[in-house]
Structure 1
Amino acid sequence: MDDGNSVTTKLLTLLNVSATKIGKRKRAEDDFVPAEKLNKRKSISFAEPIQPKATSEKENIVLVEPPNEPTATTAEADEAEEIADLEVEEDTSASDGYEKHFGVNPSCLSESSRTAAESRSWTNSRERIGKLGSAIHSMPANSEASTSACTSEIDILDNLKTPFLARLSKQAKNQAELQNDLLSTMSTRKDLYITSTPLAIKRPTREAIALHALNHVIKKGRRVLKNNERLTRAAEADPDAPPPEDVQDQGFTRPTVLILLPFRSSALDWFRALTSHTPQPTYQIENQSRFLSEYGLPEGVVDKLVTAEPGTYPPDHVDTFKGNVDDNFRVGIKMTRKTVKMFANFYGCDIIMASPLGLRRSIEKEGNADYLTSIELLVVDQMDALTMQNWEHVKFVMNHMNKLPKESRDTDFSRIKPWYLDGHAPYLRQTILLSAYETVETRSLYNATLKNVAGKIRTEKHWPAVEVPEGIDQSFVHFDCVNPVDEPEKRFHHFTTQLLPSILKSAVQSSNTIIFIPSSFDFIRVHNYFRKQAGVTFTVLSEYSTPQDISRARQSFFTSKKAFLLVSERFHFYKRYKIRGIRNVIFYGPPDHPQYFTEFLSYPFIDEGVEPSDVTCRLLWSKYDRFRLERIVGTEAVDALLKDV
């Protein structure tokens, strides 16, 4: 937890920087022309899975411009028209999910809840959440938080209902129920970690989360608009009277939603999910051609993964690497009443889509991460792919989230919510994590970084055992380790002093042997060890291998010119080559992706005349490999495997 004195000192510094601005509020006339009546919003609730229904009315999505930056005359006119067009009474009661969690005085935010979250003291219970399945529900221990349920009524704004129902009518029943359960869970504003996202649910999951994000942006914008109108009316009624004091509705900067993604193609998928809820011609998408050009493939380029004969590449590989796989990007999205503006300035946008690498380079270049100070909704998608890139970039971004800004940036401090000024934003930010499977890194992020005092939810996956060809000689080799810090050293020691020497003594197993190494650090270490072994021929395939290196390595191994082939998991993640010439498979550690285990044990049978009895498999493991072992041997078997270690 941040020290109170430190937070106060930083805040006073900011206040001193903008001392000339603190004494005055931003008047509504600076941002829009007020109308006679400020109408309000209401929410809709779905107790059962949402069913599409016919409608003859055309509902427009209404989005507004929070006044964090000057707007053009046309924008002012749009906002004036916005007020005149609003016809729905706004629900400002405590039952409104956004106001309850992100309002001026969140009921779940207390000293006891913050202390529990900071000390990682949670009260856990196991519950079942519809199509999300079994989940671990964590609440701050001994806190005064009142929201204890995993689900709540869905508070989608009426203006978002029509396009959502139109999309829902095209979904299969299971997917519609999944989206309903997702929206119901996210409406609690608790953190959500979905630990298994099969290909079949990726699109409906993205669309549900995108709807939740848009709903968040709209609700914040409408609150700002309402308070702008109140300030204007108060000034018109009595120009000499002090302005109302209860108008805190903003953060330090405008962006409130951050979506972290591994590739530009992922951003394109999320762009489609977001715009599925903002249909044309109601909405105009500015800079759409530029976005599609920069985040898609160049014109005339054929995607070989998509056009390849079915079965050439596994479906998960095609889904991950289709399209533009550049991992250095960031784009701001600005939502207005009638437009979705791509490539908006970061300090004038509502939603940021970026890769961890792209954000890190931006932060290091600018020397601050002020545009991340007011993120209220964080989505991290394809965490399994992010672990195969550089997880340090993810940790870097998380360490710069929701800090006090280094510059005032014309902020009107009288409009900032009190918990932002107190440095409590991390305790209210809602984080949604999505991964195909769990890793130590993703679980650590969930356990150590997420401090939402409303609670957090982690789904559970019951893994079946993977299927491998029958008759293969498999041996799971265990080594003892009592401290995770010592695990890499213990693994290397057991491999070099016991497992590898026994293999080298065997005439059969000392040739046509592939060694699969999950960790890049372990790969470098084993590679250096092999270089020092006289009389042992080997070649390598890593994520840094050039096409020429790959061709030479595969050929020399297939023709038995090299007895051993060292392969990193990242190489297989990016390339997914089928390797010929394998008779013996050694897993230096269990692969993160369970399908890799099956694939490497199937590759020997690419060659003609190979029988299962000709193939051997050795897997080195410790008790700290539980996540990866569970996905290979199955949830039930892993408990028995670890029982006596």
Structure 2
Amino acid sequence: KSVDEDNVDHEISDELDPFAKHLLYELNDSLLRSVSSTPMDVNNFNEDWPYAGTITIQIPKCIEQMQEKKESTIIEVKSFAPAGCIPKRIHLSKDTLDTLCIKSQIISNLAKSNSSLTNKEKSIPLTPLQAELFSIINNYQDLYYPQRNFDNGEEIRYAYCLHTINHILKTRNKVVHHNVRLSKKEDVPEEFRDQGLVRPKVLIVVPFKNAAFKIIQFLINILITEDKGNVINKNRFLEDFTGNELIMPKKNPKPEDYELTFAGNSSDDFKIGITVTKKSLKLYADFYSSDIIIASPLGLRYTIGAEGEADRDYDFLASIELLIFDQAEIFLMQNWDHVIHIMKHMHLQPKKAHGTDFSRVRTWSLNGWAKYYRQTLIFSSFALPEINAVFNKHCANYAGKVKVIQKITYGSIRQVYVQLPHVFQKIGANSVEQRDALMKQTLIYVSSYFDYVKIRNYFKKEDISFVQICEYSKSGKIARARDMFFHGDAHFLLYTERHHFFNRIKIKGIRHLIFYQPPTFPNFYYEICNFMQETNMNKKIGSMSNMTVTVLYTKYDAQQLAGIVGTDRATKMLQSEKDVHLLVTDGD
């Protein structure tokens, strides 16, 4: 054996390894028909897991198919990709790391690198939640988990970082092993096809540099043992991805979730390529030499560009095998169009060869089937229709998909401590209703910037007394708008959700509150309502006994409505023949 051959791990057999079972084989005709139909032809299953909760599983239908080729007296049997299966839950007390098919070179690093663990002596160094998530992730199925929060965020991040490194090391091992064997052959046999059209295999999309910083720290800690590895360009990385922190005010402090969201470097324009070798990570690698790309939606949008731009580039998305969106709800506050733009440019035919050895490219990749092999993982703090749409329309993994169902018992309205009537008004999904709100000091909270522009233009046309605060407003105009609203010099204040997300200012003087649509973030509902407490009022105007909250909603706002009033009540409100529902918070 050569030295190179000795350096290749052979400990995981292809028959047992989920990685090999998912990527090595072509789809049979039955499975291809199921995944390529719209909607996908699937079998549905439901399970209740102790930590992940209720999960729905969709497995594309497949009729087993074996193909035989007769050549003289030799029968060659072609194997096809196995049909997806219900994920088997990892039992921390029964299973071992060997059964999870984790690469041996990183096993010794896991307990030390997993900061979420309380007990470092476990046979499987994962928390119960990580074990359940990894049960799905390691089964190479798509996952939508809408229950991420500040308590479990690091657990989730570690789980997908472990999967990322494990996936890249297995890919590298396969390629190196084949290189050694091919050095003794003239032709490239079919079984040595082990690559995509381009090199990048993992794309992780996160909103801020601080999130990327934490991911790369996990990747380093999982891959590299102290004093036994190398991180190239580490100092440049530390300089780029730390610092630039927001200064949080001590007087009138921001809410805790704001401080946690914007901790560290909150720049939203970045991208970084990473090359993985057996004992090193090279940061700032050229995209076409990278195994992993970590980027923000904005950073990717600048690279992908728009039609007609000469220097646009999206070939690097052609062979992504693992796509991860973390903190996906924040993308809606940045620009959701960037996410859609990314999805529309996945797996397109590359415009350049990028040094590809086509004799080593997998047949299913040449066939244009890469989207059926890509695994997509989406993590968000709550379920939203825009994220659901991406998961349903742009994720077609032949192994199936798993969605965690978020059932909300009470909703954020329980945290309103001001005595208020809350009127929920259902409106037709296709109608635009201009409400007759001739009341002073009415704040209109608008989730969509496009709705904000429509209302603003209508108010200007009708010469209605109003001021406005949006994400593009300058500080001087914001101060003037707040002052005029508090003193009753303007009847209405138009206020966008995106401005609130990025600034979290306190608005005083609200006597009437209209949500043009239920807020995307359920905690914003009670936060804005609680601005209406007596200490924030201009006592020279109006009365505390005449205050109202009105929420306009349609059938498409089911998930946001559930975040406010709870899943069961939202379902009843949407199914009711009544269009108006009154809830009252008692102020206790």
Shorter chain as normaliser: what TM range? 0.7 to 0.9
- Give the equivalent residue in structure 2 for 1:461: 406
> Are the aligned partners of 2:487 and 2:538 in contact in 1 as well (CA < 8 Å)?
no
* Alignment of 1:304 onto 2:247: yes
Aligned length: 532
- Give the equivalent residue in structure 2 for 1:150: 87
* Alignment of 1:640 onto 2:572: yes
Cα deviation, residue 228, structure 1: 0.7
Which is further off, 364-373 or 396-405? 364-373
Which is further off, 133-142 or 182-191? 133-142
CA distance in 2, matches of 1:92, 1:453: 22
Distance 1:363 1:470, change over 3 A: closer
CA deviations on 1:436-492 (whole Å, 9 max, x unpaired) are 1122210100111100010000101111322212531211112233xxxx3xxx1x3
Q: Name the SS for the 1:304 alignment partner.
A: coil
> Are the aligned partners of 2:137 and 2:143 in contact in 1 as well (CA < 8 Å)?
yes
Q: TM-score, normalised by structure 1?
A: 0.79
Higher helix share: 1
CA distance in 2, matches of 1:205, 1:151: 19
* Alignment of 1:343 onto 2:284: yes
Q: Name the SS for the 1:230 alignment partner.
A: helix
- Give the equivalent residue in structure 1 for 2:142: 191
Distance 1:136 1:615, change over 3 A: same
CA distance in 2, matches of 1:130, 1:162: 28
Alignment of 1:68-467 (within 5 A): 83-85=5-7, 89-103=10-24, 105-106=25-26, 109-118=27-36, 119-120=38-39, 121-142=41-62, 144=64, 145-151=82-88, 153-168=99-114, 171-172=117-118, 176-232=127-183, 234-235=184-185, 242-279=187-224, 280-298=226-244, 303-305=246-248, 308-309=249-250, 312-364=253-305, 366-463=311-408, 464-466=410-412, 467=414
Cα deviation, residue 309, structure 1: 4.2
Cα deviation, residue 428, structure 1: 0.6
One-letter amino acid of the counterpart of residue 22, structure 2? H
> Are the aligned partners of 2:515 and 2:550 in contact in 1 as well (CA < 8 Å)?
yes
CA distance in 2, matches of 1:141, 1:373: 26
Q: Name the SS for the 2:281 alignment partner.
A: strand
CA distance in 1, matches of 2:269, 2:445: 28
CA distance in 2, matches of 1:269, 1:383: 16
Distance 1:348 1:310, change over 3 A: farther
Alignment of 1:547-566 (within 5 A): 547-566=475-494
> Are the aligned partners of 2:223 and 2:279 in contact in 1 as well (CA < 8 Å)?
no
> Are the aligned partners of 2:188 and 2:359 in contact in 1 as well (CA < 8 Å)?
no
Q: Name the SS for the 1:408 alignment partner.
A: coil
Cα deviation, residue 185, structure 1: 1.4
Alpha carbon RMSD of aligned pairs, Å? 2.2
CA distance in 2, matches of 1:528, 1:159: 62
CA distance in 2, matches of 1:312, 1:117: 50
Distance 1:457 1:612, change over 3 A: farther
> Are the aligned partners of 2:197 and 2:319 in contact in 1 as well (CA < 8 Å)?
yes
CA distance in 1, matches of 2:545, 2:31: 59
Distance 1:314 1:83, change over 3 A: farther
Distance 1:609 1:511, change over 3 A: closer
Cα deviation, residue 143, structure 1: 5.1
- Give the equivalent residue in structure 1 for 2:550: 618
Q: Name the SS for the 1:475 alignment partner.
A: strand
CA deviations on 1:77-112 (whole Å, 9 max, x unpaired) are xxx5x64455x5432332111110011x15xx2222
- Give the equivalent residue in structure 2 for 1:522: 451
One-letter amino acid of the counterpart of residue 358, structure 1? G
Cα deviation, residue 351, structure 1: 0.3
Cα deviation, residue 243, structure 1: 4.8
CA distance in 2, matches of 1:595, 1:330: 30
User: What stretches of structure 2 of length at least 5 have no aligned partner?
Assistant: 65-81, 90-98, 120-124, 578-588
One-letter amino acid of the counterpart of residue 499, structure 2? F
Q: Tell me which of 551, 562, 581 is aligned to 1:630.
A: 562
One-letter amino acid of the counterpart of residue 624, structure 1? Y
User: What stretches of structure 1 of length at least 5 have no aligned partner?
Assistant: 1-35, 38-79, 236-240, 505-509
CA distance in 1, matches of 2:301, 2:115: 40
Cα deviation, residue 330, structure 1: 1.1
Distance 1:389 1:609, change over 3 A: closer
Cα deviation, residue 285, structure 1: 1.4
Cα deviation, residue 363, structure 1: 2.2
Q: TM-score, normalised by structure 2?
A: 0.86
- Give the equivalent residue in structure 1 for 2:516: 588
Alignment of 1:599-614 (within 5 A): 599-605=527-533, 606-607=535-536, 613-614=545-546
Alignment of 1:17-32 (within 5 A): none
Q: Name the SS for the 1:581 alignment partner.
A: coil
Cα deviation, residue 420, structure 1: 0.6
Q: Tell me which of 427, 450, 470 is aligned to 1:542.
A: 470
- Give the equivalent residue in structure 1 for 2:92: none
> Are the aligned partners of 2:246 and 2:262 in contact in 1 as well (CA < 8 Å)?
no
CA distance in 2, matches of 1:607, 1:360: 42
> Are the aligned partners of 1:472 and 1:612 in contact in 2 as well (CA < 8 Å)?
no
CA distance in 2, matches of 1:125, 1:253: 36
> Are the aligned partners of 1:471 and 1:613 in contact in 2 as well (CA < 8 Å)?
no
Q: Name the SS for the 2:424 alignment partner.
A: strand
Cα deviation, residue 169, structure 1: 7.2
Cα deviation, residue 614, structure 1: 4.3
Q: Name the SS for the 1:516 alignment partner.
A: strand
CA distance in 2, matches of 1:366, 1:256: 22
CA distance in 2, matches of 1:294, 1:272: 14
One-letter amino acid of the counterpart of residue 96, structure 1? D
CA distance in 2, matches of 1:172, 1:476: 44
Q: Name the SS for the 2:471 alignment partner.
A: coil
Distance 1:155 1:175, change over 3 A: closer
CA distance in 2, matches of 1:540, 1:608: 19
Cα deviation, residue 278, structure 1: 2.9
* Alignment of 1:575 onto 2:503: yes
Quote the sequence identity (%). Answer: 32
Cα deviation, residue 159, structure 1: 1.5
